[in-house]
Structure 1
Amino acid sequence: MSSPFLEYTLPDLFSLCPLEFGDANPHYKEAGADSAAWVNQYDVFTHKKRAFFVQGCNELLCCRVYPYAGYEEFRTCCDFVNLLFVIDELSDDMTGEDARKTCGIFYRAMVDPEFKDSSPVATMTQEFRARLTSSAKPRCFDRFVVHCKSYVDAVSSEAELRETGKVLDLASYIALRRENSAIRLCLGLIEYIFGIDLPDEALNDPAFRSVYWACVDMVCWSNDVYSFNMEQAKGHTGNNVVTVLMHEEGIDLQAAFDRVGIVFGQLMNRCLEDRARLPSWGPAIDADVALFIKGIDHWVVGNLEWSFETPRYFGARHADILRTRRITLKPLEVCSEDSREE
């Protein structure tokens, strides 16, 4: 890993995903522009970080993973993903203590609409909360808040681990990644978009939970393998399954990437097999469960597509890398105090 010229081949996750590709939200340009203007008005980032934030094309991610959402729902989802990226970018440079404070502000603003704090994170969160609660069903919102607490705890733990340089074992990492990725929050928005409120009897069913966790892990593992080069150049390798696999299994970089492909395929097979085992809860609930599974399918597929449609992970060569899957490991970035303020 020390050579800046080391090359590796990405696993071909697209060939392992038989789900339907290609859907895009028709409200992307209008609602996406509105959401981008909303987040930009808070001037959260330095010049350099703003450029990186824009590269992320967060609204395009929403376009791919929520192609079925109406304008209002799509705009709300864009606002939330933009808010998540704000928290992620800010916490990347924070100590564990500071990350916990920032995440605490987000959580308190989500729980309490009367929470008083002048920070952009608090204001943005409260504005998003108002949009979400205008139509989200009660159980849907209650679950969303529970996932928010798990998310802020996990992001804070990630920052603390980064301070100490500790790399978790695989089982511990999977548990942390499921939460700090915020994917469970993003999947929670599926219920909001469709206007459904899944009952506990469906959510707690073993087959449903197997499908759900398989999709969560597919999103997390694919994101890790695609973001690894960008993260290692910034010195942020601990919160990545590639690093965890190298440490735990004693394998090199290419073998770790190959292992991600194997696990992704296993998760996909499990997802498809267990959805065929879902019981019936009656016509109304069955229809809602089908809508939710449709939504998580779009997240698995849309995340793969988006990763190569923007320069966030692969720079200007993102389209070429989609074709070749060949990557040259980037050298470690040298960041001075002056450059942090650019």
Structure 2
Amino acid sequence: MAPASVLPIPAQHGYRTPEVDQPSERIDSPLQTPRLENKIQPSFVAAPIDQLDTPSDNLAPSGVWRPAIHPNALEVAGQVEGDFVRDWRFPSEKAMKKFLAAGFSRVTCLYFPMARDDRIPWACRLLTILFLIDDLLEDMSFEDGEAYNNKLMPIMRGEVLPDRTRPVEWIMYDLWEGMRACDRELADNVLESTFVFMRSQTDRDRSVIKNLGQYLEYREKDVGKALLSALMCFAMDLRLTPDDWEKEVLAASKGHAEGGVLCSAVQILADETELTIPATKRLLWAMVGEWSKHHDRLVSTIEKTGCSGNVARYLQGLEYQMSGNEDWSLSTLRYTDVQDADAF
């Protein structure tokens, strides 16, 4: 299969066009990519960075890095969203429209702009179903949510056949069977990280978080730091050697945890510091900016000591994840339209 060319993204969208290292040869397989026949018009239009909504005091985003988006984002979003509109049992048309407005495929394409063309649909489908499950768990007790996820895990491993009358089961089963057929080694790495994320969703410690340190420690698992890193490697067909990992861990151990940390920490920090909500947002934006600079210093240190091409791509991918998450969080109705938060 000939590789698709990297399409330029219009400059007015504010995104960089990443250099995508597509393979010269691929193995054709009916399981290699999700079915594509149910494509719909994507729900998002990429907004220029300078037109995105910012916090209430009009403070600009951290702006240290510029996000990029996968060149096939519009097509892939239409394919994946179309499949879920057809197959997922949304409780109402309002919930379905809220799903389309959230832009889960868009954020995946922002996370992984350097993904292989044949793997980005898998990444979009996985993060989409995890978002949908997360919404379902919000209405369950910890005990019920834990049982719900525990039932899915052996299905995801391929140890138990799904109930084909339950979309969450057969979509998960088919998704993981397809990912393993594409690349078993990297798919298995993603699977274990996904289980860590799913267990954190029903972690009872989340109900007793009182300070920012506890929050950040919990969010490292709940936001899916390990999951996103493993999924990035799968999507980019990126394999790091044990030596590569040791260098990265050594550098990272000298600094703060990065990626996906902001989330909903505003109220916790406001309570701790007795600051107003706008003041707390300003403080968190400054903190995110400092983490970005710290990441740059770590990358510079690694590059000076010498690193492989795969490590360089991995570090670039982390930057895209963080800047892409910032871009999406400022534009998706999932977070900005809080009055309609119960649509799911």
TM > 0.5 between the two?
A: yes
Contact in 2 for aligned 1:214/1:271 (Cα 8 Å): no
Which of 261, 272, 276 lines up with 1:248 in the alignment? 272
Q: Among residues 180, 186, 209, which one is paired with 2:252 in the alignment?
A: 209
Task: Indicate which of 248, 261, 276 corresponds to 2:285.
Answer: 261
Residue aligned with 1:197, SS: coil
Instruction: List per-residue Cα deviations over 1:205-246 (Å, max 9, x = no partner).
Output: 345435996442xx231xx2xxxxxxxxxxxxxxx2112212
Q: How does 1:139-218 map to 2 (within 5 A)?
A: 140-157=186-203, 161=206, 166-205=208-247, 206-209=249-252, 214-216=257-259
* C-alpha separation in 2, matches of 1:122 and 1:56: 22
How far did 1:254 drift?
2.2
Question: In structure 2, which of residues 283, 295, 299 is the aligned counterpart of residue 271 of structure 1?
Answer: 295
Tell me: CA distance 1:11–1:98, structure 2 relative to 1, closer, same or farther (3 Å): farther
Partner residue of 1:314 out of 324, 331, 336: 336
Q: What secondary structure does 2:301 align onto?
A: coil
Q: CA deviation at 1:331?
A: 7.1
Q: Deviations over 1:182-211 (max 9, x none)?
A: 243122122112222212332233454359
Give the aligned residue type for 1:128.
Answer: L
Q: 2:316 aligns with which of 274, 278, 294?
A: 294
Matched, 1:220 2:220: no
3-state SS in 2 of match to 1:24: coil
Q: 1:111 aligns to what?
A: 157
The alignment's TM-score, normalised by the length of structure 1, stands at 0.74
Q: Give distance in 1, aligned partners of 2:194 and 2:106.
A: 23
Gaps of 5+ in 2: 1-54
Which has the higher relative contact order, 1 or 2, with Cα contacts under 8 A spaced 6 or more apart?
1
Aligned partners of 2:162 and 2:173 also within 8 Å: no
Q: What one-letter code is carried by the residue in structure 1 that aligns with 2:215?
A: Y
RMSD (CA atoms): 3.0
Residue type of the alignment partner of 1:125? M
State the Cα deviation string for residues 80-128 of structure 1 (Å, max 9, x = none): 1111111111112211112112222332222235444453222221222
Letter in 1 for 2:319: D
SS at match of 1:70: coil
Do the aligned residues in 2 keep the contact of 1:62 with 1:77 (CA within 8 Å)? Answer: yes
Query: Between Structure 1 and Structure 2, which shows a larger proportion of helix residues?
Result: 1
Aligned residue pairs total: 287
- What's the CA shift string for 1:32-54, capped at 9, x where partnerless? 22211222233332113222211
Q: Is the aligned partner of 1:13 residue 2:61? A: yes
SS of the residue 2:172 aligns to: helix
Q: Residues 33-80 of structure 1, C-alpha deviation per residue, up to 9 Å, x if partnerless?
A: 221122223333211322221110112112222222233211111111
1:28 maps to a residue whose letter is A
* C-alpha contact 2:238 2:310 (8 A) present in aligned 1: yes
Percent same amino acid among aligned pairs?
16
Contact 2:126 2:175 in 1 (8 A): yes
2 CA distance for matches of 1:298 and 1:211?
22
Deviation at 1:178, TM superposition (A): 1.4
Q: Read off the aligned partner of 1:220 and give its amino acid letter.
A: V
**Alpha carbons of 1:171 and 1:308: their partners in 2 closer, same or farther (altered >3 Å)?**
closer
Cα 1:106–1:204 shift into 2, 3 Å: farther
* Counterpart residue number, 1:227: none
Shifted more, 110-119 versus 31-40: the winner is 110-119
Q: 1:132 to 1:331 in 2, by over 3 A?
A: closer
Q: Residue 12 of structure 1 aligns to a residue in which SS? A: coil
What TM-score does the superposition give when structure 2 sets the normalisation length?
Answer: 0.73
Q: How many angstroms apart in 2 are the aligned matches of 1:35 and 1:250?
A: 44
Does 1:44 find its partner at 2:89? yes
Query: Contact 1:155 / 1:180 at 8 angstroms: preserved in 2?
Result: yes
